[in-house]
Amino acid sequence: MRSDKHDGSVAAKGTGLARNVPTSVSRETSVPIESDLDIVTARQVGRALAERVGFEAGELTLIATAISELARNIVLYAKRGEVVVKVLENGTRRGIEVVSSDEGPGIPNVTHAMQDGYSTSGGLGLGLPGVKRLMDEFEISSVVGHGTVVKVAKWRA
Amino acid sequence: MNDLEAHAPATLANHETDVDLLRELVSHLRANRTQLRQEWARRITEAQLLTAMSKDEIFKEATSVYDNYVEALKTGTLEALQAYARNLSERIIPRGVETHEVVGIVLLLRDVLARSLFAKYRSDFALLNRVLDAYETAANRIANTVTVGFVQERERIILEQQEAIRELSTPVLQVRERLLILPIIGAIDDQRARQLTEQLLRAIRTNRAKVVVIDITGVAAIDTNVANHLVQTVEASRLLGATVIVTGLSPKIAQILVTIGVDLTKMNTVGDLQGGIEEAERLLAYKVIPGGTKASQT
Amino acid sequence: MEVPILKQGDYLIASIQSALSDSDLVQLRDALVEKVGRFRSRGVIVDVTVLDVMDSFSTRILRDLAHMIRLRGARTVIVGVQPEVAFTMVQLGLRLEGIATALDLEEGLAYLDETGEKES
């Protein structure tokens, strides 16, 4: 069985191919996020990859929605960044990982941001607690002035 | 699993000499039947395997496994043993016998028999080696057959049970056009609550339901997670255009809901199932389902 | 991708045809809010059957849309939310509070007819 790291090296990273959406989904795909159009691309790419992993319809919606929230945070707060989706394998278990990263202003208080109802833009908030509820694993690291990385994963039931 | 079975050769002996040696093995095992199966049963108890069974039962099963084992060595075919392993598994799985116990007892038998062969042939080292070679191969295939048989049976039972539970636990009933009833009985955990919600939402769509009565009379207890699921189910149903009426909240569940602070204004509740159906009929007769979540009845 | 808006009697029907970007959705909101006055419509139906994702943004825009339409003197029904989408929305904590929903276009029209009768 190939390792995740190895898979990463064969992926078409940052080629922009992903923009033509989901026909050529590899085991790992990066989608550059620069405008609201890229949000749609990111969730379509993620959904197609999750479908190949064998997730059910309900789970596909959860994953696509989580990607949408993460990509939107990039557009709203950092202007640009990227979303990387990849297949996870752990023994017989399969899943999908989504990493959103940007070099934006960062989140001053991550603990606050993880509370329901928190918002810096007067809107509905960052939606991070919601994303956490939709996925099985959730990690965030953010440095003010340097950017934010959110890594989430979902495993097949 | 079927692959494994397919790979297992149907006969135990590959060479003429093996056949002779196996024949000799069989007569040795037959001659020492009483002593060897006693020794095996003793070792099983000592290793604390098959703890769900009494000593007598262990000895009885040990005897029939032993005889089937010897029979497999004698006939050189595994079919009879396969059938026996399946039958044995069917009997012991409901008793809670685990896979590691089955593997354990099969390996113990292998060990007991190998030791007795060693004792018998140790004066002729060359012959001992040949006997062990023939025995090893045969014994490994037998061990494999029994274990695979057990695991397959276990998987079959688990699948069957899962299917039965799924059907039992989510009966979405259409009482009349536009009206669904979902009686929930038994314990609800996170996963079942999720499953119920998904099934209900699909049923709303397929049956074009406008009102759903969820009856939880048969639910003994509820925790924060499940209570939240219930609220979520109500809200998700509304997103599809259906109104949910919850009935049968026991005093205890009502108390739990209040204690954990579930927002009851979002819930349309009626005392019992009959009242719930009457309320549903009333809503359907008006043909207008109020858009807001504010319940007009308490 | 512009969403076609059909006028049927007293009602406007916006039937979303494919995945929408944020700006498409904002455009739809503005177009409906404008047209509802121009055509003196009494009701608006937004059909979201094809949407496989309704996230915090689209939910907020739909909610704003319904409230703005209300202020303009008409009512809104959101129809066709898919079961999986509804399930995800509630898990995210997204609500369409105070906004009418119906199973599909047919039910949405029936809802507008009935509520309209009751009012007049």
In CATH, what number is assigned to the domain containing residue A145?
3.30.565.10
pLDDT number for residue A2: 39
pLDDT digit string, tens, across residues B113-144: 889 988 988 898 888 888 888 888 888 888 88
Place of tokens 């049970």: B161
B to C CB pairs, distance under 8 Å: 70
Please report which helix (H) or strand (E) contains residue C43, including its range: strand C43-47
Q: What is the pLDDT of residue B12?
A: 58
* A14: its two tokens: 């940052």
In three-state secondary structure terms, C2 is coil
B134 burial via Cβ count (<10 Å: 0-12, 13-18, 19+): buried
Q: How far apart are CA B149 and CA B87, in angstroms?
A: 9
Instruction: Answer whether B2-163 and B173-286 agree in fold.
Output: no
Domain boundaries, chain C: 5-115
Confidence (pLDDT) at A108 = 87
- Given pLDDT bands bounded at 50, 70 and 90, which one contains residue C31? very high
pLDDT-based confidence at residue A12 (cuts at 50, 70, 90): very low
CATH architecture, domain defined by B173-286: 2-Layer Sandwich (3.30)
Is the pLDDT at B298 greater than 70? The verdict is no
At residue A15, the pLDDT reads 39
Give Cα B129 to chain centroid, integer Å. 43
User: What does the alpha-carbon distance between residue B21 and residue B27 come to, in Å, rounded to a whole number?
Assistant: 10
Place of tokens 């669904």: B180
Q: What's the pLDDT score for residue C118? A: 59
**C102 at the B interface (CB within 8 A)?**
yes
Q: In whole angstroms, what is the distance from residue B22 CA to residue B38 CA?
A: 22
Given 3-state DSSP classes, what are the helix, strand and coil percentages for chain A, each rounded to the nearest 5? 40, 25, 30
Structure tokens at B173: 């009933």
* φ, ψ (nearest 5 deg) of residue C6: -100, 145
At residue B287, the pLDDT reads 53
Q: Which fold has domain C5-115?
A: Transcription Regulator spoIIAA (3.30.750)
Nearest in space to B213 (alpha carbons), one of B224, B203, B226: B203
Domain ranges of chain B: 2-163, 173-286
Return the sign of the alpha-carbon dihedral for residues B212, B217, B220, B223.
positive
Q: Which range has the worst mean pLDDT, B41-50, B76-85, C59-68? A: B76-85
Residue B62's pLDDT is what? Answer: 85
C61 touches chain B (CB under 8 A): no
Spell out which residues of chain C touch residue A64, defining contact as CB-CB under 8 Å.
52-53
The fraction of chain B above a pLDDT of 90, given in percent, is: 17
**What pLDDT shows up at residue B285?**
83
C16 touches chain A (CB under 8 A): no
* Percent of chain A at pLDDT exceeding 70: 76
Query: Per residue in B141-176, pLDDT tens?
Result: 888 888 888 888 888 888 888 767 666 666 788 888
The pLDDT of residue B49 is 87
For residue B205 the two structure tokens come to 């769509």
Using a CB-CB cut-off of 8 Å, the residues of chain C touching A58 are 83-84, 87-88
Q: Is the Cβ pair B240, C81 closer than 8 Å? A: yes
Q: pLDDT, tens digit, for every residue of C77-107?
A: 999 999 999 999 998 888 888 899 999 999 9
| B295 pLDDT more than 50 | no
pLDDT at residue number B59: 87
Instruction: Tell me which CATH homologous superfamily contains domain B2-163.
Output: Histidine kinase N-terminal domain (1.10.490.70)
User: CA dihedral in degrees (B173, B177, B179, B182; nearest 10)?
Assistant: 10
- Contacts of residue A4, defined as CB under 8 A and 6 or more positions apart, other chains included, come to A86, A88, A89
Residue B19 has pLDDT above 80, yes or no: no
Contact B246, B262 (CB under 8 A): no
Q: Residue A100: helix, strand or coil by DSSP?
A: strand
Residue A17: which domain range?
4-155
More confident residue, C28 or B88: C28
Which chain B positions have a beta carbon within 8 Å of C84's beta carbon? Answer: 198, 201
Dihedral angle over CA of B273, B279, B284, B287, nearest 10: -160
Residue A125's pLDDT is 56
Closest CA to A95 of A148, A54, A61: A54
Other beta carbons within 10 angstroms of residue B51's beta carbon come to: 12
**For residue B286, what pLDDT is reported?**
60
List of residues 6+ apart from B286 with CB closer than 8 A: none
**A neighbours by CB contacts (3+ pairs under 8 Å):** C
Residue-wise pLDDT for A65-96, tens only, equals 999 999 999 998 999 999 999 999 988 889 99
Query: Average pLDDT of chain B?
Result: 82
Pairwise pLDDT comparison (B7 vs B222), residue with the higher score = B222
Q: Structural domain tally of chain A?
A: 1
ipTM of predicted assembly, 2 dp? 0.91
User: pLDDT tens-digit profile of B170-190?
Assistant: 678 888 889 999 998 877 777
CA nearest neighbour of C12 among C98, C77, C59, C58 = C77
- Mean pLDDT, to the nearest integer, of A55-61? 92
Is 80 exceeded by the pLDDT of residue B296? Answer: no
pLDDT digits (tens, 9 = 90+) for A96-136: 999 999 999 998 888 888 876 554 444 445 688 889 989 99
Contacts of residue B136, defined as CB under 8 A and 6 or more positions apart, other chains included, come to none
* DSSP-derived 3-state class of residue A54: coil
- In chain A, whose CA is at the least distance from the CA of C55? A65
What integer best gives the mean pLDDT of chain C? 92
H/E stretch holding A61: helix A57-73
